[in-house]
Amino acid sequence: MESIASLLARALDASWTRHEFLASNLANADTPGFKRQDIDFQSYLQSALRPGITVSTTHPRHISSSGHRPLYVTRDSSSLTPDGNNVDVDREMAEVSANALYYTAVLRQLGEHMSMLRRAITEGRR
């Protein structure tokens, strides 16, 4: 079974990666033909909670498993402007704000978990 800290760390990684996609969308808001990309966050987290297949190597030159789950990237093919770009700056900013709130909440939860472990280890003493 995977630890809570590991699951929270994975959620933070996914949120950070999503932020990179959203920042890229905003940076390319005026690029002709650019199509916005995002992570299917719910599918990613569901796959992160399922037990994965372990891969072992039998030779030093074999490629090892990194242990990371695949990211589910969605690409919207619709267009908002005549030049083929489909980035809506207001929507992207709302998504960035929501993602930042999620990241902060998970980070706070991880801090609380670490604090609880610290209290358990020190038996409540400082």
pLDDT tens profile 103-120: 999 999 999 999 999 999
Residue 68 confidence (pLDDT) above 70: no
Give every CB contact of residue 108 below 8 A, 6+ residues apart in sequence.
none
Does the pLDDT of residue 65 top 70, yes or no?
A: no
Per the model's pLDDT, the better-predicted residue between 73 and 3 turns out to be 3
Provide the whole-model pTM.
0.74
74 three-state secondary structure: strand
**Higher pLDDT, residue 52 or 61:** 61
Element (H or E) spanning 31, and its range? none
Percent pLDDT > 70 in the chain is: 74
Using an 8 Å Cβ cutoff, are 84 and 32 in contact? Answer: yes
